[in-house]
Amino acid sequence: MTVVLLNIFITGLDVSGPFRFLLLLPLCLSIAVVYKTTRCLDLRSVPKASVILFISIVAGMYLVGVGLWALFSIMA
């Protein structure tokens, strides 16, 4: 069992296709929650503010990605 877990960390996992874009979501959600937890004065406003920031981060990252892809397509 230990060898299998060690092998996963040494070789890594092959993530390809559309699922690799889903790896951005947990990272953005954790950043949004931690940032809004440190900035909001009222703890009840953290979930709503975190969701808004999460959507903003994800939309911004995907728009930048599409823009860079379009620029690369034009230049190539």
Q: What is the pLDDT of residue 7?
A: 83
Residue 57, in any domain of the structure: yes
Domain containing residue 26: 20-75
Q: Is 46 a domain residue? A: yes
Entry pTM: 0.77
Tell me if 71 is assigned to some domain. Answer: yes
58 assigned to some structural domain: yes
Whether residue 68 is contained in a domain is answered as yes
pLDDT by 10-residue block (mean), the chain, 76 residues: 82 79 92 96 95 97 96 94
Q: Which residues of 28-49 are buried (b: 16+ CB within 10 A; e: fewer)?
A: bbeebbeebeeeeeeeeebeeb
Residue 9 falls within a domain, yes or no? Answer: no
Would you say residue 12 lies in a domain? Answer: no
The number of distinct structural domains making up the chain is: 1
Query: Residue 50 and residue 29: Cα distance in Å, rounded?
Result: 8
Residue 1 lies in a domain: no
